Structure 1
Amino acid sequence: MGASRLSCGSMGGTQSLALPQGRGPHQVGCTDVMVGHTQQGLFLRLFYPCLPRAGAEQPLWIPRYQYCSGLADVAQRSRHWCAPLLSVAIGGFLFPAGSCRVPVSWNGPFKPCSSGYPLIIFSHGLGAFRTLYSSICSELVSWGFVVAALEHRDHSASATYFCTAEAGREEWIPYQRVPQGQKEFYFRKKQVHQRAEECVRALRLFQDINSGKSVPNVLHQDFELSVLKGSVDLSKVAVMGHSFGGVTAVLALVKEPSFRCAVALDAWMFPLENSLYPEVPKPVLFINTEEFQTPESVAKMKRLSSRNSQTKIITILGSVHHSQTDFTFLTGKLISRVFRARGTLDPYKGLDITSRAALAFLQRHLDLEEEFNQWDNLLEGIGDSVVPEAPFCRSNL
């Protein structure tokens, strides 16, 4: 798999970030979209097929220093050293020699499609944010999808913000741990319902755009959302997510009939109440890593697969929980150790398996006229470094 390797200078050596370019036939563009001036609005990074543009700017992988501080808080590490370490991605003061960027075209010209691109709404994991899944989002877009990567405002993101109507002042929403004395299940259940509702609102946003309704972008990016009109097929919509985002995707199937299927990357099934399992109406592809799931979590996945023969469970061997995030492509041993970002499997091979399995599943359930069914064997757990169902491996959630 090809990669764009950008060096990030550091004192006493060089640390590289290699975020892979999509391997499909489409070039990838992205922009940020914020709708509304309150916490009840939406914030997402939009990835889309784009036209070539010479000298295209590439967006920063971590767009603001506040996200570095938030990641340090989530990891329960000192902001004093952890946030500057991460700020390598934005040219922080300890690493002034360079910055790391996503190999896509920032605000690149949208590539129209008369038949319409299928749409994926993507939900991030606990303590993450909209940009940390750029590799999988870019890969799917390169094969002809539009992907809206949400940044949730339920206090599960490491940090996020909204802009008030008064002079565009930023209001930051910090990451919040489970309050002392409160049971985690009830705290997380409330969050997962808010997250799923945000996924539904993201779909409504695209419905508004497709109907010709004016949708102002609070961030005033050099990208007109109206160009999407007629180029997104809203009859072919899926929801996808990682960890907390994986169970968010499952719940979104309950809340919105227009979501035809879900892809759940190493889903954290804990927050979904038992009464909802019989109500999940559509197929789910669970792509697990080897060192995260518990027997209890896998039992919940099997409960869904027993009700729907099209729900599949596979495990990628040699992978860890963060293998499905961009962190796995950080070659610096220190960052990988802090965030447990790598298993024994090559990260590019892990992305290859994840994306191909997802594409095969999406072709099947969105009725796509592509050749992604060439990877159907992966859905049965057949292939190198993949097995059906899930080993009972325990890890800290």
Structure 2
Amino acid sequence: MGWAAALALPRPAGPHHVGCADVMVGRTRQGLFFRLYYPCEPHARAARPLWIPRAEYFEGLVDVGGRRRWWSAPLLRAAFSTFRVPLSWNSPFKPGSAKYPLIIFSHGLGAFRTLYSAVCAELASRGFVVAALEHRDRSASATYFCTGEPGEALREEWIPYGRVPPGEKEFYFRNKQLHQRADECARGLQLFEDISRGQVVPNVLHGAFDLSVLQGSIDMTKVAIMGHSFGGVTAVLATVKEPRFSCAVALDAWMFPLEHARYPDVSKPLLFINNEKFQTPESIARMKRLRSRNSETKAVTILGSVHHSQSDITFLTGKFEKLINRILTTRGTLDPHKVLGITCQAALAFLQRHLDLNEDFDQWDPLLDGIGDSVVADEPLCRSNL
């Protein structure tokens, strides 16, 4: 037990209990796969979902890290395969007195749908429905889709993580992925539009969440896009491809893959919540360019944070976490709970402003101007580029 580890995810702090479920729509690669976070009815006996649900994801994480599968994947499985998140699995959806706003969430490079459960659950506890997509552009560490005719047994086809091919420039490879990701986000929004209109949308996973319970409970006039790293720039582009996104929240966005020709098309308000030790001067210049086009676009930096501070990985504890931290730099000097609090409070204040919500999230408005403990406005200090 010398390498004992734990996942110390906080319970969501909002007034709603939070349920989560996996949703797969369609039986082709062009379908959608996401983890849904939503306000749910209290259920004392509800199961807690696994944090990393399948062995294939451990193998994918090893591939992303460039390690050998034969020893690294079993080690990760032994350390993390039993970790569960403090949410209610497939619990009954809780209809609200008013419709819930919707957030589509896009994961970072080498991540997948379950690695941002702390952020997504906190937003759901505040009265949002959040769909965390698992992208199929080979930027996820691993993902899959199911094939087979209705009534037949499902057959899984796995999509591995893809590196930049030899001889191909990284920008062109990542830019192609970026556009696929933004298109998937737009299709995610359309899916919820279809559900809201009463269209039957089967969830092909066995014994899975029934999407029809969402009909009449989501406010499709209050829709935002959010993401981390590669997902942050995906959120920016998605506002161009799908005008129904009212605004975007970009967590430590990796701006590199977005072509300059698209910048004049970005017109929706953006909130960049950056970490202290990731951004480069070039990336900051790109954010400033977008800020110059829209006075409602904001950029703040959380001091004492690193690139992984907004993912669940930062909440790993124990001696194994110390080993992982040496490889990924999972934790900065600021307490992870404080980073989560600043991230979600700033996002909520921004969403209230641009989704016209009748909540008390405006109490955190000063964060949007970089006013508060451990937050500054405009530019990260760029002490290192990790």
Equivalence for 1:150: 133
Answer yes or no: is the 8 Å Cα contact 1:294–1:392 preserved in 2: no
Answer yes or no: is the 8 Å Cα contact 1:32–1:43 preserved in 2: yes
Letter in 1 for 2:189: L
> Residue 380 in 1 paired to residue 366 in 2?
no
Cα distance, 1:335 vs structure 2: 2.1
> Residue 264 in 1 paired to residue 250 in 2?
yes
Answer yes or no: is the 8 Å Cα contact 2:46–2:89 preserved in 1: yes
Equivalence for 1:47: 37
Unaligned runs of 5+ in 2: none
Scaled by the length of structure 2, what TM-score is found? Answer: 0.96
Answer yes or no: is the 8 Å Cα contact 1:330–1:336 preserved in 2: no
Answer yes or no: is the 8 Å Cα contact 1:214–1:226 preserved in 2: yes
1:218–1:111 Cα change, 3 Å: same
> Residue 353 in 1 paired to residue 346 in 2?
no
Answer yes or no: is the 8 Å Cα contact 2:22–2:208 preserved in 1: no
Equivalence for 1:239: 225
Mean CA deviation greater in 158-167 or 377-386: 158-167
Work out the CA distance in 2 between the residues paired with 1:396 and 1:179.
24
Equivalence for 2:2: 12
Letter in 2 for 1:261: C
Work out the CA distance in 2 between the residues paired with 1:140 and 1:246.
17
Q: How does 1:100-119 map to 2 (within 5 A)?
A: 100-119=83-102
Structural RMSD (CA): 1.2
Q: How does 1:1-397 map to 2 (within 5 A)?
A: 11-88=1-78, 91=81, 99-165=82-148, 167-331=153-317, 332-393=321-382, 395=384
Task: Write out the 4+ residue segments of structure 1 that deviate beyond 6 Å after TM superposition.
Answer: none
SS in 2 for 1:54: coil
SS in 2 for 1:376: helix
Letter in 1 for 2:225: V
SS in 2 for 1:335: helix
SS in 1 for 2:4: strand
Mean CA deviation greater in 221-230 or 154-163: 221-230
Work out the CA distance in 2 between the residues paired with 1:105 and 1:380.
35
Answer yes or no: is the 8 Å Cα contact 1:62–1:89 preserved in 2: no
Unaligned runs of 5+ in 1: 1-10, 92-98
Aligned-residue sequence identity (percent) comes to 72
Work out the CA distance in 2 between the residues paired with 1:86 and 1:140.
29
Q: Give per-residue Cα distances to partners, 1:86-113, cap 9 Å, x unaligned.
A: 214654xxxxxxx110110000010002
Cα distance, 1:395 vs structure 2: 4.8
Q: Give per-residue Cα distances to partners, 1:350-397, cap 9 Å, x unaligned.
A: 000000000000000000000000000000011111000123526556
Q: Number of aligned pairs?
A: 380
Cα distance, 1:218 vs structure 2: 1.0
Cα distance, 1:79 vs structure 2: 2.0
Letter in 2 for 1:141: A
Letter in 2 for 1:372: F
Work out the CA distance in 2 between the residues paired with 1:278 and 1:239.
19
Scaled by the length of structure 1, what TM-score is found? Answer: 0.93
Letter in 2 for 1:109: P
SS in 1 for 2:227: strand
Cα distance, 1:66 vs structure 2: 0.6
Q: Give per-residue Cα distances to partners, 1:136-177, cap 9 Å, x unaligned.
A: 000000000000000000000000000111531110000001
SS in 2 for 1:259: coil
Work out the CA distance in 1 between the residues paired with 2:26 and 2:97.
29
Q: Give per-residue Cα distances to partners, 1:48-77, cap 9 Å, x unaligned.
A: 000001211000000001101101111112
Work out the CA distance in 2 between the residues paired with 1:85 and 1:335.
12
Letter in 2 for 1:102: V
Q: Give per-residue Cα distances to partners, 1:256-302, cap 9 Å, x unaligned.
A: 11100000000000011111111111000000001100000000000
Cα distance, 1:336 vs structure 2: 2.3
Answer yes or no: is the 8 Å Cα contact 2:274–2:299 preserved in 1: yes
SS in 2 for 1:309: coil
Letter in 2 for 1:237: V
Letter in 1 for 2:357: L
Work out the CA distance in 2 between the residues paired with 1:34 and 1:223.
10
Answer yes or no: is the 8 Å Cα contact 2:279–2:385 preserved in 1: no
Answer yes or no: is the 8 Å Cα contact 1:380–1:388 preserved in 2: yes
Work out the CA distance in 2 between the residues paired with 1:158 and 1:240.
19
Work out the CA distance in 2 between the residues paired with 1:43 and 1:123.
12
Letter in 1 for 2:143: T
